[in-house]
Amino acid sequence: MACGFCCLGEAAARAEPLQNGQTLWLTKKIELMASDGKTFDAVSGTQLKVIEASQLRGNWKVTVLEDLQGRRFVTSTKNLAGSYNVDARRAAVEVPAQTLEAFNSHLGSAAQTCAPPPRAQASGVQPPVHPLVLGARRTLGVFFQDCEAASRVWDEASDQGRKGSSPVTHQCEGKLTLRCLAKSKYDDYGDWHYALRGLDKRTQPPFPQKPYCEDVTRSRPSIYGYGSKCSSPRSEGGLSFLNVRECRNSRHDGSGDGILDGAGGSIAAIDCSGFVGVSLAAAGLNLSPDASKAEVGIGTGRFSEFSTRRGGCLEEARLKIPGGIEAGDILNLAGHHVVLVDQVGPDPLGIERALARGNCDSISRDSFNFTIAHSGSYGDLGPARVSARFRMPGAKSGAMGSGIENNLVDLARKACLAAGKGGANATVAGGAGSFMTYRHRGDIAGCVMPENRRFRLKGEECLTQNGCNLNFGGPS
């Protein structure tokens, strides 16, 4: 049979009901829903394993399936009937190469069929991540001046190695808590920080990777700074640069920027909305279609100004269920905190598991299965990638703060109830009141900068010259 055609058998639909653990092959194209809520057509010949057969969810019956890469999908049991066989030895059915290729491309790696070429099995190609996620990782890489540090996640495992208490001290002036990290404490901070720990002892590759990278365990380590933003790009050689490691601009009310330099030292600082603003700029994403209005100093209370309802580039998202949030989403609680969704796992809000248990109220922060990128006061770490369900021992909330956590839990529970009532095509609003899930609309003219106008970050050459791959861990 010609290359590019699938050699899987076709047979009449099984009369017997499917069983958990059974392997099946599709004999015609059907619609599947991935764990992120996106729907697409799975082509004839796709091999799938039955995880849960004929599961009842509210007033609809679904079958949960898994492909050879371990990704979960759901389809209505009625839709699946007559569309599969459980015997790969039947007569072959030809599938046009471009159809199978389109499905593989959607999943982000080669779907394995009966006899895939060895290179397709071993390619290890990662699906591309959202541009805003790349912008956030680029920003973290510049703060940490290291590829590996930018890929690390603060979670239960990485928190185990912390030594002692935070080296960051707090001093109150009026209504502000000003943070300070003395130069004499830089070594302590490096040993204590989840991403910086051990970098100064690394030999392969050496840290820092000279001559392009700076040793941030010795000079200008980054912490959270209330009100610290980058709002003054500089032009060099026809390009606009942001120096994120010198973002020390005062707040507009003149009350300072939330940072005190320690004796003999100098630190880098940025707050939550400042981090999101820089990540957007680093990704070449505008908040307004008018590129002249790039807003890198935006506050949490201003994101609504740039909603598509007002002619901006941020869509107030409707979440497809049971998936929910997506990588690249901005979770904003006006006046409090804002984070970026960095990477989502299967069932990121725990909706599918709650449906399987028949108890939407069982959803909690511990149900979350995604990572965020942000800069926050939590734990004194500042810019970080964090597990959304991580909570420091003894803390009442996690890194996102109780406000975003509680709103997400409420949102997930509402989505769970809507799934039970409305089926697989239901959606829910991504927020209400001061809490909102925003998605950047790169398909709107003017919302994406031409590459030659994208803001560069001072120190970005540490990543580019060392071939950093920031495309790690696409949606799983």
Tell me which amino acid residue 182 is.
A
- Beta-bridged to residue 339, according to DSSP, are 331
Dist. CA 207–CA 200, nearest whole Å: 6
Distance CA 39, CA 52 (A): 19
Burial 306-320, CB ≥16 within 10 A → b, else e: bbbeeebbbbbbebb
Splitting the chain (476 residues) into consecutive groups of 10 residues, what average pLDDT does each group show? 28 56 82 70 78 70 78 81 67 34 35 28 54 95 94 91 84 76 89 91 91 89 84 70 70 58 73 92 90 74 93 93 91 96 93 90 94 92 93 86 95 90 78 95 90 84 92 61
Alpha-carbon distance values, 312 to 109, 287, 325, 445 (Å):
34, 6, 21, 11
Task: Please give the Cα distance from 295 to 245 (Å, whole number).
Answer: 18
DSSP class of residue 312 equals S
Is residue 455 within 8 A of residue 281, CB to CB? The reply is: yes
The predicted structure's pLDDT at residue 13? 36
In this prediction, residue 206 carries a pLDDT of 92
Model pLDDT, residue 127: 59
Cβ 50 vs Cβ 333: under 8 Å = no
Structure tokens belonging to residue 393: 């021992």
* Beta-bridge partners for 30: 42
Q: Is 115 exposed, middle or buried (0-12, 13-18, 19+ CB in 10 A)?
A: exposed
Which tokens go with 415? 């989505």
What's this model's pTM, rounded to 2 decimal places? 0.72
Q: How far apart are CA 435 and CA 437, in angstroms?
A: 7
C-alpha torsion 141→143→146→147, nearest 10: -10
Instruction: Note whether 24 and 15 are within 8 A (CB).
Output: no
Which pair of tokens denotes residue 455?
């803001």
Q: What is the CA radius of gyration of the chain?
A: 24
- Give residue limits of the domains in the chain: 8-122, 131-464
- Listed residue (267, 44, 274) closest to 169, CA to CA: 267
How high is the pLDDT of residue 99? Answer: 35
Q: Tokens 């790696």 correspond to what residue?
A: 109
Q: What is d(CA 107, CA 132) in angstroms, rounded to the nearest whole number? A: 20
Distance between CA 423 and CA 403 in Å, rounded? 29
**18 vs 14: CA distance, rounded Å:** 8
How far, in whole angstroms, is CA 448 from its chain's centroid? 19
For CA atoms 250, 186, 374, 280, give the dihedral sign: positive
How, if at all, do strands 456-457 and 239-242 pair? parallel
Give the pLDDT confidence score for residue 24 in this predicted structure.
84
Q: Which residues of 426-455 are buried (b: 16+ CB within 10 A; e: fewer)?
A: bebebbeeebbbbbbbbeeeebbbeeeebb
Alpha-carbon gap, residue 240 to 402, rounded angstroms: 37
- What region does 302 belong to: left with phi over 0, alpha with psi -120 to 50, or beta? alpha
